[in-house]
Amino acid sequence: MHPLPLKLTPGSDLRLSLEELARTKQLSGFVLGVVGNLSRAAFQCPGQPEPTVLEGDLEVITLNGTLSPEGVHLHLSLSDGACQVWGGHLEPGTLVQKGVDLLVGVLDQAQQVADNSKATPAAQTPRLEIAVLPGCPWCARALRLLRTLDLPHTVDTVNDDAAFSRWQARSGMRTFPQVFIDGELLGGYDDLASLHASGKLEQLR
């Protein structure tokens, strides 16, 4: 194992940033430590149908869990302005306020996994592709549906105007999420949910 320090800038999505890191670098590991603050936190409490969302001056207390190219499993605890502690399963839409510093422990065998994956990239390319906006509740629902069904997918987080324009030109849509199957536009969250209701979404494994 070797340590990897990370610094997330204001506006970054905490969960999506770690997912993108693990996916693009083909690394596996776990969070060793974290300090920083959030302007928005989204986390799933046990037994609740929807994530809890807090906004304001929020201080990160702990972030525990694992990350890999297949996804992340992270638990967040934080304090609000009244020093009340909250926590649960980290969801997309958790946004950095001034900054977050992380230390990730990267497993050494992850490099071997990355080398092996280069031999057969086509076989491992997910059929589902989704573009999301940080803090977008419909994007969070779409990602949660894909994770619940354990469907392989790639995620592109739209963090600037250039990325927004690129996706708009590709899809003709100005709303997010934008979902593609085998490179063809499916649509947004409602279209994804309809595909799931028909039983056809699970066939994309």
Task: State whether 10 and 72 are in the same domain.
Answer: yes
Q: Domain for residue 120, yes or no?
A: no
Task: State whether 110 and 22 are in the same domain.
Answer: yes
Task: State whether 49 and 140 are in the same domain.
Answer: no
Q: Domain for residue 97, yes or no?
A: yes
Task: State whether 24 and 56 are in the same domain.
Answer: yes
Q: What is the mean pLDDT of the chain?
A: 88
Q: Domain for residue 24, yes or no?
A: yes
| Total number of domains in the chain | 2
Percent of the chain's residues with pLDDT above 90? 62
Task: State whether 142 and 108 are in the same domain.
Answer: no
Q: Domain for residue 174, yes or no?
A: yes
Task: Read off the pLDDT band of 41 (50, 70, 90).
Answer: very high
**The predicted structure's pLDDT at residue 124:** 62
The total number of residues shown for the chain amounts to 205
Residue 165: count other Cβ atoms within 10 Å of its Cβ. Answer: 11
| Residue ranges making up the domain that contains 32 | 2-114
Q: Strands 128-132 and 153-157: what pairing?
A: parallel
Task: State whether 101 and 28 are in the same domain.
Answer: yes
Cross-strand bridge partners of residue 37: 59
Task: State whether 99 and 46 are in the same domain.
Answer: yes
Query: Which of 59, 88, 114 corresponds to the end of one domain?
Result: 114
Q: Is the pTM of this model over 0.95?
A: no
CA distance 132 to 112: 30
**The predicted structure's pLDDT at residue 101:** 97
Q: Domain for residue 119, yes or no?
A: no
Task: Read off the pLDDT band of 115 (50, 70, 90).
Answer: very low
Query: How does pLDDT run across 2-26, given as a tens digit for each residue?
Result: 999 999 999 999 999 999 999 888 8
Mean pLDDT score, 80-99: 94
Query: How does pLDDT run across 123-161, given as a tens digit for each residue?
Result: 467 899 999 988 888 988 898 888 878 888 888 888 889
Task: State whether 96 and 53 are in the same domain.
Answer: yes
Task: State whether 25 and 104 are in the same domain.
Answer: yes
Q: Domain for residue 176, yes or no?
A: yes
Taking alpha carbons only, the member of 129, 118, 136, 147 closest to residue 183 is 129
